[in-house]
Amino acid sequence: QVSAAGVLDAGNFQSLYDANVKNYIILDTEKTGTILSVLRLMSKEMRFHDQQLVILEPNETLDFEEISIKSIANLKLLYPSLTRDSASDELNLFETDYKKKNKTVPNQFATRGFDITFDTMLRLSQDKTISQSLEEDKTEQLESKFEYAKKDSEGYINKGVYILEYQEDLTVKPVN
């Protein structure tokens, strides 16, 4: 909880912990000072409470050098992402082939475009209609997850999202 002046009340913050459950601390600010205060307080509480830091959308402020990636990793930052941020043999092969053919490494749009095209081609080659496939099948490609939901009469929307978590060794792993 932050005051209107942007100051974190440490006593109030600590009183919100529940010793019987895992406490998810949702960080929804871009103010460096507030982020540093939350990280400091959470680090102090690590030995007393089961807790995890969560953000609901990308936050560029976390990339500032003032904010230690080690402290974020120690708090096992949990966040949603449209792409899986981990390498695989298939992704490495795609990047190698792409670089050989295009003389450059693929950017996020090239990889996403490949995933969407490949997923669509696979769905079209099945013994069911595209609508059945979209409604029934969840798939994963190189970096993307596809889990479609019918959107009224307007078609389908992809709700495939990865939940990623920083590990103490500074790697990022999907949790779902």
pLDDT one-digit tens code per residue, 14-66? 888 999 999 999 998 888 888 888 899 999 988 899 999 999 988 888 888 88
DSSP 157: E
Please state, in angstroms and rounded to a whole number, the distance separating the CA atoms of residues 24 and 29. 15
Residue whose C-alpha is closest to residue 121's, from 104, 97, 146: 146
Q: How many CA atoms lie within 13 A of 143 on its CB side?
A: 20
Mean pLDDT confidence for 136-152: 93
Cα distance between residue 157 and residue 154, in whole Å: 9
pLDDT at 2 over 70: no
Region 102-115: mean pLDDT is 94
Residue 154 has pLDDT above 90, yes or no: no
SS3 for 165?
A: strand
Q: Is the pLDDT of residue 4 over 90?
A: no
